[in-house]
Amino acid sequence: MAALAEITEAIAQLPDPDVRKLAVWLQDYLEENWDQQLAGDVAAGRLDGLIHRAEAQIAAGQVRDLDEVTLL
Protein backbone atom coordinates (compact mmCIF):
# COMPACT_ATOMS: atom_id res chain seq x y z
CA MET A 1 0.00 0.00 0.00
CA ALA A 2 1.78 3.11 -1.25
CA ALA A 3 -0.14 5.53 0.98
CA LEU A 4 0.88 3.65 4.11
CA ALA A 5 4.52 3.69 3.06
CA GLU A 6 4.32 7.44 2.45
CA ILE A 7 2.69 8.03 5.83
CA THR A 8 5.28 5.89 7.59
CA GLU A 9 8.09 7.80 5.90
CA ALA A 10 6.53 11.14 6.81
CA ILE A 11 6.10 10.11 10.45
CA ALA A 12 9.75 9.08 10.63
CA GLN A 13 10.69 12.65 9.67
CA LEU A 14 8.57 14.34 12.33
CA PRO A 15 10.10 15.78 15.49
CA ASP A 16 9.46 13.71 18.60
CA PRO A 17 6.80 16.03 20.10
CA ASP A 18 4.77 15.80 16.89
CA VAL A 19 5.08 12.01 16.83
CA ARG A 20 3.75 11.92 20.39
CA LYS A 21 0.81 14.17 19.45
CA LEU A 22 0.10 11.92 16.48
CA ALA A 23 0.20 8.86 18.72
CA VAL A 24 -2.36 10.43 21.08
CA TRP A 25 -4.59 11.36 18.14
CA LEU A 26 -4.32 7.85 16.68
CA GLN A 27 -5.18 6.24 20.02
CA ASP A 28 -8.22 8.53 20.38
CA TYR A 29 -9.24 7.65 16.80
CA LEU A 30 -8.97 3.92 17.47
CA GLU A 31 -10.90 4.19 20.73
CA GLU A 32 -13.71 6.12 19.03
CA ASN A 33 -13.90 3.47 16.28
CA TRP A 34 -14.04 0.74 18.95
CA ASP A 35 -16.82 2.57 20.80
CA GLN A 36 -18.83 2.89 17.57
CA GLN A 37 -18.33 -0.78 16.73
CA LEU A 38 -19.37 -1.86 20.22
CA ALA A 39 -22.45 0.37 20.14
CA GLY A 40 -23.41 -1.13 16.78
CA ASP A 41 -22.93 -4.66 18.09
CA VAL A 42 -25.09 -3.92 21.14
CA ALA A 43 -27.81 -2.29 19.02
CA ALA A 44 -27.81 -5.27 16.64
CA GLY A 45 -28.14 -7.71 19.54
CA ARG A 46 -24.84 -9.44 18.84
CA LEU A 47 -23.91 -9.34 22.54
CA ASP A 48 -27.27 -10.48 23.90
CA GLY A 49 -26.08 -14.05 24.43
CA LEU A 50 -23.08 -12.93 26.44
CA ILE A 51 -25.20 -10.53 28.48
CA HIS A 52 -27.76 -13.22 29.31
CA ARG A 53 -25.00 -15.66 30.24
CA ALA A 54 -23.40 -13.11 32.57
CA GLU A 55 -26.75 -12.29 34.16
CA ALA A 56 -27.44 -15.98 34.74
CA GLN A 57 -24.01 -16.47 36.35
CA ILE A 58 -24.58 -13.48 38.61
CA ALA A 59 -28.03 -14.77 39.62
CA ALA A 60 -26.54 -18.21 40.37
CA GLY A 61 -23.81 -16.70 42.53
CA GLN A 62 -21.09 -17.95 40.19
CA VAL A 63 -19.15 -14.69 40.12
CA ARG A 64 -16.76 -13.08 42.57
CA ASP A 65 -16.52 -9.45 43.54
CA LEU A 66 -14.09 -7.58 41.36
CA ASP A 67 -12.07 -6.57 44.43
CA GLU A 68 -11.38 -10.27 45.06
CA VAL A 69 -9.82 -10.88 41.68
CA THR A 70 -7.90 -7.68 40.98
CA LEU A 71 -4.35 -7.18 42.10
CA LEU A 72 -3.84 -3.98 44.02
pLDDT, average across residues 52-66: 94
d(CA 10, CA 12) in angstroms, rounded, equals: 5
Summarised one tens digit per residue, pLDDT across range 8-25 is: 999 999 999 999 999 999
Domain residue spans in the chain?
15-69
Query: One-letter amino acid identity for 50?
Result: L
SS3 18: helix
Look at the pTM and tell me if it is higher than 0.85: no
- State the pLDDT confidence band at 68, using cuts at 50, 70 and 90: confident
